[in-house]
Structure 1
Amino acid sequence: MLLFLLVTWQVAAHGPLRALDERLSHDTARHGAVPSGYSVSALVDVLAEFGADFGGVVAVLPPLAVTVAVAAWCGYRVRLRLWWLPPLTAALALGAVPALVAPLKAWLGRPGPDGAPIASGNGYYPSGHAATAAVGYGAVLLLIAFTRAITRPPAPSEVPMTASGAPPATAAPTVPRTACWWGTAALTCLNVGVGAGLVRRGYHWPLDVLGSWCLSALLLSCVVWSVGRALSVNRPAPAPARGPQPPRASPTPGPRDR
């Protein structure tokens, strides 16, 4: 949050960080049509354009819609009490991106890099594409982890023990730590590719992307909280199976009953 406020202040006040940002963009951005050919520069521009396209709503919305539906269905099937919370929070987080980005763009009115003039009543800080990619793909990763946690049987080493040394009747599902690391690394690489593509193709300044990432971290923290909250609430314990009851032994008659 503090980093987002700092970056926004520098952009609004034309501070030294904004001057450094614009100088860096002028040295790295390549405007215009994607060049054709087999040179290294042309290949970089093609990859940059491809990465920038990954931040659009058309690319982000389908995987998020699928994971929202799958997570909701799996949570409902395993009778998780808060099965609806993570899917709903993920959808609301993506919907909050334009609701937060559009007013900031109109308020700051930052002009775009060379070749991308400012639109009427709009601006370029923060980047809507970068925020959409960070929130959308981050929510997809969190919902996949949520679905995996509630559908896979927990390993014996992951089941917490009670004070008596026995496992609890219903253990809260957990997410494997290795899967979290790999997923976080993939999400980071994907968002770096989107941000680098936006800067390389001259669609946004570097600070536009950085500010969007800071804003996205706030929205994704809500999704993280919803997943943790849903996983912390144990699913209801199944009713114990009733087998055939052994016959009750008749009491032995005492001396007074003879």
Structure 2
Amino acid sequence: MALLFSFLTWQVAADGGVRALDERLGRSVARPGALPSERTPSALVGRIAELGADLGGVTAVVPVVLVAVVYAAWRGRRARLRLWWLPPLSAVLALASVPAVVAPLKAWVGRTGPEGAPLADGSGYFPSGHAATAAVGYGAALVLTVFAHTALRLGQLSKAPSAPGVPARSSAAPAAPVASPKTAGRGPSRWTLRWATAAMAALNLAVGLGLVRRGYHWPADVLASWCLSVVLVCGVVWSVYRALARQAPPSDGASSPAAASCMAHSSTTGSTRAPEPSGGLSHRTPPVDRPG
């Protein structure tokens, strides 16, 4: 992604062949200007494109990120993770880095827009700020949601009954399900994660197509913003792995989840005696018959 971003920046700044191809493609797709009021397929596509472009604005992205940040921080703190604050903080920093990186690049490249409007002082069209804001914001929100879900499962594991408090299993009533180490620390299912990732990608694709269709940006502007956003979102992913790897140990006096599961198994079999040494062989003295 970094190589592709560098290549696009070089071609746009040096007025290379990729820039000419990009502008030719953008003019064939763009339909700038006021939206038509009649009910035609072209007008419907224009309204959908305008909505997609608006979804990349700060007013649409920031509330989504704030909700994900609060939810992830709450779940991480409830699960007693040592670094529960790291993923929310990294998401906020990643979103705040977008204008800090995009604005200097726009001023340096100084690319004109599809309509050829004159540039204001310190502005430009490469890369797209809306596309970068949407990709980083919605991508970070998805990563934080996965982190919050995983923290919820870890919290269920920490609330599992300890060894002294495991009740005996009754034949009349089945035992309540207890989170196991194999499932409690696991995040969303594979298909859930795939569908959520596909929805996030489709949302960003709608934002990019809307920006190009409405004549707000060239296609290369959007593509470069996506490449830049991957690097920023990867920082959020790293923070999630870091926070989950440094989870807090069990509290004092509580046994480990493995010990709790072993005690639960022993209660179902009716045996609470610890295994004896030397492979389980008993060394007790046999009883001696006494006279009388």
Q: What's the TM-score bracket when you normalise by the shorter of the two chains?
A: 0.7 to 0.9
Matched, 1:176 2:168: no
Matched, 1:195 2:208: yes
Partner Cα separation in structure 1 for residue 249 and residue 28 of structure 2: 59
Which residue pairs with 1:254 in the alignment?
A: none
Partner Cα separation in structure 2 for residue 229 and residue 176 of structure 1: 21
Report the CA distance between 1:234 and its aligned residue. Answer: 2.8
Report the CA distance between 1:70 and its aligned residue. Answer: 1.4
Partner Cα separation in structure 1 for residue 182 and residue 188 of structure 2: 19
2:39 match: secondary structure: coil
Partner Cα separation in structure 2 for residue 111 and residue 143 of structure 1: 36
Which residue pairs with 2:228 in the alignment?
A: 215
Tell me the alpha carbon deviations over residues 114-167 of structure 1, each in whole angstroms, 9 at most, x when there is no partner: 1644222211000000000000000111111110111036999xxxxxxxxxx8
Report the CA distance between 1:239 and its aligned residue. Answer: 3.6
Distance 1:155 1:200, change over 3 A: same
TM-score by length of 2: 0.75
Which residue pairs with 1:133 in the alignment?
A: 134
1:23 match: secondary structure: helix
Q: Is the 8 A contact 1:154 1:174 kept in 2?
A: no
Match of residue 235, structure 1, among 245, 248, 259: 248
Which residue pairs with 1:206 in the alignment?
A: 219
Report the CA distance between 1:183 and its aligned residue. Answer: 1.2
TM-score by length of 1: 0.84
Distance 1:48 1:64, change over 3 A: same
Matched, 1:142 2:143: yes
Q: Is the 8 A contact 1:154 1:173 kept in 2?
A: no
Q: Is the 8 A contact 1:146 1:175 kept in 2?
A: no
Report the CA distance between 1:37 and its aligned residue. Answer: 1.5
Partner Cα separation in structure 2 for residue 57 and residue 185 of structure 1: 22
Partner Cα separation in structure 2 for residue 220 and residue 239 of structure 1: 37
Distance 1:240 1:194, change over 3 A: same
* Displaced runs of 4 or more, over 3 A: 153-156, 167-175, 238-242
Residue identity (%): 60
Partner Cα separation in structure 2 for residue 234 and residue 170 of structure 1: 16
Matched, 1:58 2:71: no
Partner Cα separation in structure 1 for residue 182 and residue 132 of structure 2: 42
Letter in 2 for 1:118: L
Report the CA distance between 1:180 and its aligned residue. Answer: 1.7
Tell me the alpha carbon deviations over residues 22-53 of structure 1, each in whole angstroms, 9 at most, x when there is no partner: 00111110111111111111000000000000
Distance 1:190 1:168, change over 3 A: closer
**Structure 2: gaps spanning 5 or more residues:** 158-179, 256-292
Partner Cα separation in structure 1 for residue 154 and residue 35 of structure 2: 49
Partner Cα separation in structure 2 for residue 71 and residue 155 of structure 1: 16
**Structure 1: gaps spanning 5 or more residues:** 157-166, 243-258
Tell me the alpha carbon deviations over residues 153-210 of structure 1, each in whole angstroms, 9 at most, x when there is no partner: 6999xxxxxxxxxx86997543432222111101110000000000000000000000
Q: Is the 8 A contact 2:98 2:129 kept in 1?
A: yes
RMSD: 2.3
1:55 match: secondary structure: coil
Partner Cα separation in structure 2 for residue 235 and residue 178 of structure 1: 29
Which residue pairs with 1:161 in the alignment?
A: none
Which residue pairs with 2:76 in the alignment?
A: 75
Partner Cα separation in structure 1 for residue 62 and residue 105 of structure 2: 22
Letter in 2 for 1:74: R
Q: Is the 8 A contact 2:154 2:184 kept in 1?
A: no
Q: Is the 8 A contact 2:78 2:155 kept in 1?
A: no
1:3 match: secondary structure: helix
Tell me the alpha carbon deviations over residues 51-109 of structure 1, each in whole angstroms, 9 at most, x when there is no partner: 00000001000111111111111111110111000000000000000000000000000
Distance 1:15 1:110, change over 3 A: same
